[in-house]
Amino acid sequence: MKHLFQVVFKPSLAIVYAMALVMMCSVADTVSAKTKKIGLQLYSVMDAMQKDPKASVERLTKMGYNVFELVQWGGDPNVFGMSADDFKALCDKNGAKIISTHSSIQEDPAKEDEVMNRWRQLFEIQKACGGEYFVIPSYQVDYTVEGLQRMCDYFNRVGKIASEYGLKLGYHNHSGEFQKLKDSDDLMWEYLVEHTDPQYVCFELDVYWCTKAGKSPVDYLKKYPNRIELLHIKDDFVIGESGTIDFEGIFNQFYKNKMKNYVVEIEVPQSLRDKTNPDGSKYTQEQISEEMFKAAEESIKYMKKAKFVK
């Protein structure tokens, strides 16, 4: 009986050990995924955020997003229709931190005081949200050295005011910033980096648009390690799906630079705008919004699984 017991028991014990090991690894992976700070630019689900910010925030945080970047187009004093305090409370309740916002005010020398007061109002709102950065997503400029220098000087002035509110002014690129100036061999984006004050101005590198412009985000992260403080993690649609963006190299260098703040951004592709139902009718805005949430969920799955994302 003793020998029979040993024969039966040993395989069972091995199975128990194997099951325990699988469970331990599974728990470790879950804990690791939960501790990652994964951000999302809420523009990704803009229509839903405008219609029902509470339900949208709850849905996104359940996916695992715990950092948000906001949008305040036109200098809107409200945050998706809510006061800054109420929106922050909503995010706090759902375990999400607000890191930054996107908005821009064009320079107007004839109304300098008025423009700066509008900036102050926006900074006050972002301060109430608990953010650290205020990012200009785009800016109209003449692609000349003189025009760009004025832009730099303006950003320095605005950035100095932002610092009074405990914020850092940032600039977000698209692909056009990697073109040469009309009267110089300088690239616009590089000129901006090299002619703005590091004390008051930083950069949010959109790695997708940088790549699409034929430039290497990794090279720029190496060249300007202290100026790129935020990243926009973007792809053709779902993050990691195209295989054309070197996310691993980007994150490795970003962390090497001792930086940590990034947000995923997902834009509605033209293929989704053109998508039709079986009856030939175009997708409704509600259907498009649902596809954007699905893309956000698939993207965060990629981010959680990626070992190079801390």
Tokens of residue 174, six digits: 């698209």
> For 277-298, what is the mean pLDDT?
97
Residue 173: inside a domain: yes
> In the prediction, which pLDDT does 75 show?
67
The 10s digit of each residue's pLDDT in 208-238 is: 999 999 999 999 999 999 999 999 999 999 9
**Average pLDDT value for residue range 200-205:** 98
Residues 29 and 129 in one domain: no
Is the whole-model pTM more than 0.85?
Answer: yes
For the segment 116-160, what is each residue's pLDDT rounded down to a tens digit?
Answer: 999 999 999 999 999 999 999 999 999 999 999 999 999 999 999
275 and 218 in a common domain: yes
Residue 4 has pLDDT above 80, yes or no: no
Q: Considering the domain boundaries, does residue 26 fall inside one?
A: yes
**At residue 33, does pLDDT exceed 60?**
no
What is the 3-class SS of 77-102, one letter each residue?
CCECCECHHHHHHHHHHCCCEEEEEE
Residue 151: inside a domain: yes
Which residues lie below 8 Å from residue 280, measured CB to CB, with a gap of 6+? none
CATH classification at residue 123:
3.20.20.150
Do 147 and 279 reside in the same domain of the chain? yes
Is residue 85 domain-shared with residue 232, that is, in the same domain?
yes
pLDDT for 213 = 98
In a shared domain, residues 65 and 106: yes
Residue 2 lies in a domain: yes
- Among the listed residues 273, 264, 294, 298, the one whose alpha carbon sits nearest the alpha carbon of residue 40: 264
Pair 66, 9 in one domain: no
41 and 153 together in one domain: yes
Residue 294: pLDDT above 50? yes
Do 151 and 90 lie in one domain? The reply is: yes
Q: How far apart are CA 230 and CA 133, in angstroms?
A: 9
Q: Taking 80 as the threshold, does the pLDDT of residue 262 lie above it? A: yes
Q: What is the pLDDT of residues 165-180, one digit of tens each?
A: 999 999 999 999 999 9
* pLDDT value of position 72: 85
The number of folded domains in the chain is 2
Residue 49, in any domain of the structure: yes
Q: Is residue 310 part of a domain?
A: no
| Token pair for 208 | 């997708």
- Rounded to whole angstroms, the Cα distance separating 230 from 205 reads 6
Please say if the pLDDT value at position 55 is more than 70. yes
C-alpha span between 68 and 129 (Å, rounded): 11
Taking residues 66-73, report their average pLDDT: 93
Name the residue with higher pLDDT: 181 or 76: 181
**Nearest CA to 266 among 44, 38, 42?**
44
| Angle at CA of residue 50, ends 132 and 207, nearest 5° | 50
- Same domain assignment for residues 96 and 119: yes
Q: Beta strands of 150-195 (E only): which ranges?
A: 168-172
Q: Could you tell me if 105 and 16 lie in one domain?
A: no
Same domain, 156 and 287: yes
Distances (CA, A) of 158 to 95, 112, 161, 259, 287: 31, 11, 5, 23, 40
pLDDT-based confidence at residue 34 (cuts at 50, 70, 90):
low
Please state, rounded to an integer, the average pLDDT across all residues of the chain. 91
Structural domain of 54 = 37-305
In the chain, count of helices (H) and strands (E)? Answer: 12, 8
Contact 147, 141 (CB under 8 A): yes
Those residues with Cβ within 8 angstroms of residue 55's Cβ, 6 or more apart along the chain or in another chain: 48
Residue 77 has what pLDDT?
78
Q: Identify whether residues 17 and 100 lie together within a single domain.
A: no
Work out the percent of the chain whose per-residue pLDDT is above 70.
Answer: 88
